[in-house]
């Protein structure tokens, strides 16, 4: 992979006389982007202090390495997020230099590089190797996300004559634990990692995770890890990926200009109740808009942020659909609190959760612990971890369970082990366990294998995921051939096609219940619980077993912004009532919504039987008589001009 005839980095720098007298930060040899999903995008950051009027940004060998359909794109963003410059002077085997006038825009700039598009019919991905450097009183650095398998920050072996050693300075604030994720080549003689603490820091380091070639992690713990750490990667060969669970920066210099972030303790509480609750914190400032910063307060509503001194931040707290986000402005505050306001008080006995999330152990962005933390902060009562797996090779699924299950608290918050059984024709989520069928197994065989594992003391169930998604184009037809299916996932593929498929199965006499989840792969950009399923447990305790029972019995409704209660002749969704002699049933409906509700619709055997106009109300409660001739009926709360309901119940069955 090493290119011939290219001068070494030291020679390149020596030829640039102006560089010698100025501060230079330079990336390792080599960076790259390509046309694959895993290395399509690369972000680098530049910290510009208030006193710096200008700097030079340079890219070596910016031109693509071969013929491409569309070239790589290098875009520089100012701290407020606006596009400052398109770097459009690519050269081969030379530095393309760009003079940057800072003006009033001190803070964190971002260089985003998007990979080339390969020519039509190309057998190999299009790739672009390059180097980046800054000249001037600025810092050049990376801020890795935790992900290393599906995508993330990747480095290649030297392409431009540099040594096979990559060195970074890691700025660690006052933390007690840091986790570095790696994906290294299987050859144990390559990509050796050495993490050196500051001289005054005592810490323990341990390796964990999966074998080389998959996700490994280096966990560092200590009373106070604050300081500048040295991360050295030796014997770089091939490609390796690097991620960090915490919001840390990797500098391309041993003396960063950026000040050490200070520690701010944050509490999130419910206004008017003075009750601390877990919540999500979005942190923004005009000087840092290019860096996403999302944190969560813990199980008791306390958290820690690490903020740069001298910057005024807006910290916005949110907690899912049941609460209104609230924000505060803080500058150099060592401690503060952020209120949340309830939109409604959830009736007793109802709980909500998300049964489809992914972690770093498959194609997710975040660690299992981070996903659990996010689920709590989004106001959920449970989360089911469903990393991709198939057949007996599910070690990555099991290690995610191993890391997350100790965080479960029966009665308060539940972590449920699960798996997304993944085949080219269908995906099926196992809830409260895993299945060892081969990837060639028919869908009905996988469903029946799960049902055979079901026990009174360890209930387990399964759902068909996103049945109208183009990625599993045969799933809908496979569903129509099924004889048994406990659950079907809605609102995560083409709608209203998936809802109509469900109604079709119900009309065939199949007792299948609906469920919705987020299928989130990134807790920052796709919030857990933005689609959620509510279940009714009444006085029974919140446990994994009771959650599974409620799901498979249909004592539930789906929501993406509203709370919807529906009863017919005193029965709840999932129940069966006798057909009344009059042909009419007495129904009760109550809706509480985060957004205006246009109408309530009643559906029987897939047909609209009645509409109640609400005219944009946020709350409504009513009783009415409903003429129903079909074998099932459900209610749904609708927005204006949107075919997907804000909330939809499971059916109440009518015995004919």
Q: Is the dihedral of CA 534, 536, 541, 545 positive or negative?
A: negative
Looking at residue 393, its pLDDT comes to 79
The DSSP-derived string for 154-217 is EEES-SSS--S-EEEEEEE-S-SEEEEEEE--S-TTS-EEEEE--TT---EEEEEESPTTS-EE
> Which DSSP category does 605 fall into?
T
Q: Are 544 and 424 in contact (CB under 8 A)?
A: no
The Cα 60–Cα 13 span in angstroms is 11
Q: From residue 632, how far is each of 106, 359, 553 by CA, in Å?
A: 62, 38, 15
Distance from C-alpha of 64 to C-alpha of 547, rounded to nearest angstrom: 53
What's the pLDDT score for residue 580?
86
Taking only Cα atoms into account, the Rg of the chain, rounded to an integer number of angstroms, comes to 27
Q: Note the pLDDT of residue 8.
A: 44
Where the chain has pLDDT below 50, the residues are: 1-20
pTM of the model: 0.94
Give the H or E element holding residue 85.
strand 83-86
Q: Three-state DSSP class for 98?
A: strand
Q: Which domains does the chain have, with CATH numbers?
A: 9-251 (2.60.120.380), 262-342 (2.60.40.1120), 346-560 (3.20.20.140), 562-656 (2.60.40.10)
391 to each of 427, 440, 519, how far by Cα in Å? 13, 9, 21
Buried b (16+ CB within 10 A) or exposed e, 390-403: beeebebbebbbeb
Give pLDDT, residue 12. 43
Cα–Cα distance measured from residue 406 to residue 421, given in angstroms and rounded to the nearest whole number: 24
pLDDT in tens, 481-538: 999 999 999 999 999 999 999 999 999 999 999 999 999 999 999 999 999 999 999 9
- Condensed to tens digits (0 to 9), the pLDDT of residues 149-190 reads 999 999 999 999 999 999 999 999 999 999 999 999 999 999
Sign of CA dihedral 340, 345, 351, 354: negative
Answer whether 570's CB lies under 8 Å from 585's CB: no
């Amino acid at each position: 992979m090493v290119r011939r005839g290219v001068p070494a980095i030291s020679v390149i720098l020596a030829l640039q006389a102006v560089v010698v007298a100025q501060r230079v930060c330079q990336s390792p040899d080599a960076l790259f982007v390509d046309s694959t999903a895993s290395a399509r995008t690369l972000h680098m950051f530049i910290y510009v202090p208030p006193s710096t009027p200008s700097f030079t940004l340079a890219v070596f060998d910016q031109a693509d390495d071969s013929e491409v359909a569309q070239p790589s794109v290098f875009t520089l963003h100012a701290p407020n997020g606006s596009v400052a410059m398109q770097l459009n002077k690519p050269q081969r085997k030379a530095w393309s230099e760009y003079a940057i006038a800072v003006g009033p825009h001190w803070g964190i700039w971002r260089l985003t590089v998007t990979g080339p598009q390969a020519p039509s019919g190309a057998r190999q991905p299009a790739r672009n190797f390059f180097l980046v450097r800054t000249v001037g009183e600025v810092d050049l650095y990376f801020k890795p996300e935790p992900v290393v398998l599906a995508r993330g920050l990747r480095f290649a072996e030297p392409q431009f004559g540099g040594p096979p050693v990559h060195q970074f300075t890691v700025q660690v604030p006052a933390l007690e634990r840091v986790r570095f994720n790696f994906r290294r080549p299987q050859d144990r003689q390559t990509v050796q990692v050495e993490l050196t603490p500051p001289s005054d820091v005592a810490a323990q380091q341990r390796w964990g995770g999966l074998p080389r070639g998959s996700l490994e992690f280096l966990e560092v713990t200590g009373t106070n890890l604050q300081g500048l750490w040295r991360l050295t990667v030796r014997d770089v060969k091939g490609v390796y990926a690097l991620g960090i669970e915490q919001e840390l920066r990797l500098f391309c210099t041993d003396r960063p200009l950026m000040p050490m972030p200070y520690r701010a303790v944050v509490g999130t509480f419910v206004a008017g109740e003075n009750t601390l609750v877990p919540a999500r914190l979005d942190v923004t400032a005009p000087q840092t808009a290019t860096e996403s910063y999302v944190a969560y307060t813990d199980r008791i509503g306390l958290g820690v942020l690490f903020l740069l001194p001298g910057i005024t931040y807006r910290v916005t707290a949110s907690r899912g659909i049941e609460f209104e986000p609230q924000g505060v402005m803080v500058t150099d505050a060592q401690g503060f609190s952020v209120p949340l306001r309830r939109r409604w008080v959830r009736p007793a006995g109802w709980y909500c959760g998300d049964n489809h999330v992914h972690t770093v152990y498959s194609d997710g962005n975040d660690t299992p612990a981070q996903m659990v933390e996010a689920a709590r902060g989004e106001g959920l009562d449970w989360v089911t971890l469903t990393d991709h797996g198939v057949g007996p090779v599910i070690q990555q699924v099991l290690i995610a369970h191993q890391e997350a299950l100790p965080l479960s608290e029966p009665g308060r918050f539940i972590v449920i082990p699960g798996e997304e059984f993944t085949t080219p024709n269908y995906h099926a989520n196992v809830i409260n366990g895993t299945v060892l069928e081969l990837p060639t197994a028919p869908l009905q065989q996988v469903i029946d294998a799960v049902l055979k594992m079901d026990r009174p003391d360890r209930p387990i169930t399964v759902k068909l995921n996103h049945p109208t998604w183009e990625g599993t184009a045969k799933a809908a037809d496979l569903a129509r051939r099924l004889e048994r299916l406990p659950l079907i996932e809605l609102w995560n593929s083409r709608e209203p096609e998936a809802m109509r498929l469900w109604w079709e199965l119900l009309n065939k006499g199949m007792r299948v219940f609906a469920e919705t989840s987020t299928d989130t792969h990134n807790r920052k950009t796709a919030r857990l619980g933005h689609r959620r399923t509510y279940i009714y447990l009444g006085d029974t305790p919140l446990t994994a077993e009771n959650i599974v029972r409620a799901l498979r019995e249909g004592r539930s409704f789906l929501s993406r912004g509203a709370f919807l209660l529906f009863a017919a002749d005193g029965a709840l969704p999932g129940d069966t009532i006798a057909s009344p002699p009059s042909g009419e049933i007495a129904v009760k409906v109550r809706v509480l919504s985060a957004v205006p509700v246009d109408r309530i619709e009643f559906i029987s055997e897939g047909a609209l039987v009645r509409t109640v106009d609400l005219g944009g109300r946020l709350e409504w409660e009513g009783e009415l008589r409903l003429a129903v001739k079909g074998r099932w009926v459900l209610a749904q709360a609708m927005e204006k001009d949107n075919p997907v309901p804000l909330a939809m119940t499971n059916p109440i069955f009518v015995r004919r």
